[in-house]
Chain A
Amino acid sequence: MYVRLVGSRVRSQLQYRASAALQIFGTTLIALLDLVTIVVIFDNVPELDGWTLQEVGLLYGIASISFALTDLVIGHLDRLPQMIRDGSFDQVLVRPLPSLLQVVASDFALRRLGKAVQGLGVLVWALTAVEVDWTAGRAAMIPLAIVSGAVIYAGVWVALATVAFWIVDAIEFVNAFTYGGNFLSQYPVSIFGRWLRGLVVFVIPIAFVAYFPALYVLDKSDGLGLPEWFRFASPLVAAVVALGARLVWGNAVRRYRSAGG
């Protein structure tokens, strides 16, 4: 009897483990999807608006590592609407800790690190494959872009997530700009329509995650015709976005009235 009971436990855990393995595998595959798209496109055409596969690979690498870092640290913001709905956000407010910190720290899914590793792989490949006249400045730009990019994504995410304080079901609007923004930054911004380019340069500045830093690293001309210093502006933009997000969040939390009140 004991053997049978233990056997059933082991079997049940193995079943869960198979599922867990599938989950990790699946997460990695999903992260690879965007890459498959890019490879399939370049199987049909040699370049995209003057960008080669290797150069787009550089955009992809910087953008995906930045996004993966953001997702790792604050991805839990996805749960904010749920926390507002079930009232657990009210508990957050009465504790003597910053509310944003509490929301994002309520979980930490290490498996999300897999995405960053995959992005790193592509980045390393792209860096060895592109023709670049390396200087100290160009080499330093890559880590700088990744960190700035992560801050920009995070700021955008936090600022947009506050929409949930007014419209609880709005999380999918936010996804369009977070996941959509990540998808967009993997391509040269110059291919997008006028309104969209304006949006991602001046309003929701995700063009500064990968596009502008990559222009500098690859010494390419800007298809948007914007000033030269935009290529170095990512850290500045990141600082502005972070500050803006802080103000928006603080303001939203102050105005927030719980449904229970």
Chain B
Amino acid sequence: MRLDWELARRGYRRYAAYPGATYAGLFTNVFFGFLLAYILLAVYERADVIGGYDVRDAIAYVWLAQGLLSVVASFGPSWIELAERVRTGDVATDLQRPVDLQRALFAQDVGRAGYQLLYRAAPQFLLGALLFEVTIPAEPVRWLAFAASVSLAIVVSFALRFIVNLTSFWLLDYRGTYLMALVASHVLSGLIVPLSFFPGTIGDVVRALPFAAMLQAPIDIYVGAPLGGSTALVLLLQGTWAVLLLAAGRALLAAGTRKLVLQGG
């Protein structure tokens, strides 16, 4: 536990060391936040409620999504670090360390997410809430559920990225899978328009996928329009994806390690 804490602090400090990158990222997210907010305001000129979101929900959605993007679906340099270590073979050193690789990386990623939450998501949402009319839940329970959901989203995001990185045990050039994962998480996490805008069955299916568990689920809970109308159900779904994906990551790591030993021997 002490070690996990120490690793998380390292993960936090690593991002804190480059405030310039944070400001630049913040600037871009805010700019896109404005664009999307104006687009959605124009959309709501012609509709009152879309997929359970009224206009204030939709604007809250924009600023939460742009803010949480860096927290859960970080596409920064840390994304492909493990894949690069697998490609160069450095991962062999990592595996010899007396700590569990997945657990150690997760601890670092929690530190990273914490930094992004404090310095990107929070200021950005506050700015959006000051400049536009957004939904602010009154019930403390909903805020708690939202916090729980964001935490689960961080786990799902880590587990998914871990898996994508590990594919480089088999695909020596990871850029293809990286790009596919990027595309999938962009569309299916609900970054640009809320997934609840998608029509009928497609909308329900994409909202049940792990990508939705990274971004759409917490925001659905925040605005009070969770999938199937039940916050508990959404949290359970997120939890299930977290466990399944972490387990799948472990299995992949074990299989990859065996392969690594064969090649090295």
Contact = CB atoms under 8 A, between A and B. Distances in A.
A15 interface: yes
A187 B39 contact: yes
B176 interface: yes
B42 A48 contact: yes
Interface in B13-48: 18, 20-21, 24-25, 27-28, 31-32, 34-35, 38-39, 41-43, 45-47
Contacts of A20: 173, 176
B174 to A, nearest CB: 7
Given A167-B20, A180-B35, A196-B38, A48 B43 contact: yes
B38 A192 contact: yes
Nearest to B131: A193
A184 B174 CA distance: 31
Interface in B170-219: 170-177, 179-180, 182-183, 186-187, 192-193, 197-199
B186 A30 contact: yes
A170 interface: yes
Contact of B179 (A26, A48, A187): A26
Nearest to A36: B187
A33 B32 CA distance: 15
Nearest to A37: B192
Contacts of B38: 191-193, 196
A258 interface: no
A40 B198 contact: yes
A19 B24 CA distance: 31
B82 to A, nearest CB: 17
A37 B211 CA distance: 17
B228 to A, nearest CB: 20
A18 B28 contact: no
A45 B43 contact: yes
B11 to A, nearest CB: 20
Interface in A16-66: 16, 18-23, 25-27, 29-30, 33-34, 36-37, 40-41, 43-49
Interface residues of A, number: 44
A180 B42 contact: no
Interface stretch (A96-104, A147-155, A171-179, A229-237): A171-179
Given A36-B187, A180-B35, A44 B197 contact: yes
B36 to A, nearest CB: 9
A187 B192 CA distance: 14
A221 interface: no
B105 to A, nearest CB: 23
**Majority secondary structure, A binding face:** helix
Given A169-B20, A176-B28, A44 B173 contact: no
A75 to B, nearest CB: 16
B171 A15 contact: yes
Given A15-B171, A48-B42, A173-B27, A33 B180 contact: no
B39 A180 contact: no
B50 interface: yes
B131 to A, nearest CB: 9
B193 A40 contact: yes
Interface string B92-122: 0000000000000000000000000000000
Contact of B45 (A19, A23, A40, A49): A49
Interface of B: 18, 20-21, 24-25, 27-28, 31-32, 34-35, 38-39, 41-43, 45-47, 50-51, 170-177, 179-180, 182-183, 186-187, 192-193, 197-199
Interface of A: 12, 15-16, 18-23, 25-27, 29-30, 33-34, 36-37, 40-41, 43-49, 167, 169-173, 175-177, 180, 183-184, 187, 191-193, 196
